[in-house]
Amino acid sequence: MAGTQAASNLNPAQAQAVRHSSGPLLVLAGAGSGKTRVITTRIARLIELGAQPERILAVSFTNKASEEMGERLMKLTPRGVSSKVWLSTFHRFGVRFLQQEAASIWGSRAFVVLDQGDAASVLRELLRREAFSDRALDLNAIMARISLWKNGFITPDTLDPAHFEYEYDAVAAALYVRYEERLRALRAVDFDDLIVLPARELMARDDLRERWQRRFSHILVDEFQDTNRVQLELLRQLTGAHRNVCVVGDDDQSIYSWRGADITNIRDFERHFPGASIVKLEDNYRSRSPILEVANAVIAGSRERRYEKVLRSARGPGDRVKRVELADGDSEVHYVISRIRAYREQHYDYRHMAILYRSNLQARVVEQELRANGMPYRLLGGTQYFDRKEVKDGLAYLRLLVNPDDEISLRRIINTPARGVGDTSVEYLSAYSLAQGVSFMEAVRRARIVGKLPDNTVRGCEALLRCLDGARRHLEDGLPLDRVAQSLFADAGLTEDLRMAAKGGKSRLENLDFLARALARHQEAQGSGPESLARLIQRLTLRIESEEGAGNEITLATLHAAKGLEFPVVLILGCVEGQLPHARTVDPKVTEHRPGEIDEERRLFYVGITRAQDHLELLVPRSRSLRGKRTPLTPSRFLDGLPEAAIETVEATISTTLAPDELAAMSAALLEQLAGRGK
């Protein structure tokens, strides 16, 4: 009776969803409304009412969500019962389906599932075989296109070149044919096939469809707003005459169209499953009232919203949402640091705070400031800036300027970029340093007399020493630290090596340049010279461990990566046009083909807002400086019309002084932007 007892503790809307008797059901679960509790309690109640657990299929998107569902269900059902329920992700269901039906599909039970790395290897080999081997192509871009086509039921023979927008479309189309042929030859399936093949087989074969429809009496799907076309079709094919399908989701949190999610699946649920009942979960157990008032106002501006929901806080009133007006990008990051300190004084741990942003590029300067101020953090939705290879290489070069005997750094960069000093040569140099009792750097300086080293290796060692010695002289002469770094990276060949890289060279070069500019940011306080550089390197690269134990870290995340999380304190960076919404989404060339882009950006902002439990701050810089040029910024259109009673506008201290003529030019440009928006 645990399920019945759990159902008695639900609010009226949750109880209505749990007690729904039969037929299709759409549960519109607002942010923080307890959707997982509803799903698991509904499953427990179905079992109490006589449903066989092995005939219940509950599908989620991630293994973590599926495991959480299983743990909750275990507490609501008798021992051993929950393990009989088909708790699965879409892909795990596909594996089970193909394992059971492989013989009827291929005539053999043997097949191989390729992970993303294996699939990439197949495509990479095809690139070498085809006429594209001499071109620098982004393999991920090709894989993404093939994946989207598969999940849209578009086969190689049904591709229409008239719809190709980019060069990559034609390249991917040419490889798609060969890729499918190669998979068949290998008797292999990729991750997309795990869903596409079951859906296709169920659509094509009456016997198979009837057998699998009899297998399940109830089907439940979590995060339905994230389903794509093929996942919807799989659900339709599995749903038999009983029509007992329950989907839970929130169209206001549909933010993954770029990876194939189709918001019309949830918006048109009643068309796909006629006679469906609809239950709205609007009681929010996460956020204070002012946060939800702002969230409701933001999402109300959506042009294509089908189901209106108004979130109500079960936690009651709290602090108003701060709209923070800042002079520029530097002020923004300094403000973030000051607020972290302030919240720490209010007894919030680091783990209670999140800094959210639209693009990973926005995280770089924040990471640097957090490290410089000894604040621990973790990065979601991307690689930490200081973990990137080019940044580690750049720092290794800089460390050698202040400590030539840093053997770890020297070993890292002695052949980066390649200068003829391979592993065998390094072994000879290392053996010489041990035999002679000198440092590894001194062994490199004596490369001509070490013996066994070829001429090109000796020349490579001497070239490295020249660039290091030259940069060290610049440093001792008081040259600005950023210029020392840029000169060193150029002389060492690192800059040119990244510029010529076939894949990702441009972004990697930007990361290296950003490292040099980071030195300039801190030089004013630290000064120039070897000692100042040593202090800065130590502060920027220190692996910070929380004094209160592992896991006590500030979270840095893109708005996409933050979905599903919650924090007492949330600061959202860059609430300006061009960042939120992203500049790409307001490009007429993009919106012509994907008119829903702006609405999705609005939903993304809504997701960020609803991550906050107690405190929310929206940061609005008025300008940014890029390569010495100051650009005025316009506040995000998503800030228009927010309820004044829920908002506190804060004018943060301006750290950058503008000349009168510069301020006048910025004001004129800003007025021009605003006038353009009015049109």
| Active-site residue set | 35-36, 222-223, 253, 611
Peptide bond into 12 cis (omega under 30): no
Is the CA virtual torsion 353, 359, 362, 368 positive or negative?
positive
Angstrom distance (rounded) from CA 285 to CA 288: 9
586's tokens: 């307001």
Angstrom distance (rounded) from CA 377 to CA 350: 8
Angstrom distance (rounded) from CA 411 to CA 651: 49
Helix (H) or strand (E) holding 651: strand 647-651
Pairing of strands 86-89, 56-60: parallel
Angstrom distance (rounded) from CA 90 to CA 68: 16
**Cα–Cα distance list, 143 to 137, 139, 171 (Å):** 11, 6, 11
| 533 contacts 485 by C-beta, under 8 angstroms | no
Angstrom distance (rounded) from CA 202 to CA 220: 19
Of 234, 226, 235, nearest in space to 262 by CA: 226
Environment class of residue 91 by beta-carbon count within 10 Å: exposed (0-12), middle (13-18) or buried (19+)? middle
Strand ranges inside 327-434, DSSP E:
353-357, 377-380
Residue with tokens 């290897």: 121
Angstrom distance (rounded) from CA 642 to CA 222: 31
The secondary structure of residue 584, as a DSSP letter, is G
Listing DSSP states for 29-79 in one string gives: E-TTS-HHHHHHHHHHHHHHTT--GGGEEEEESSHHHHHHHHHHHHHHS-T
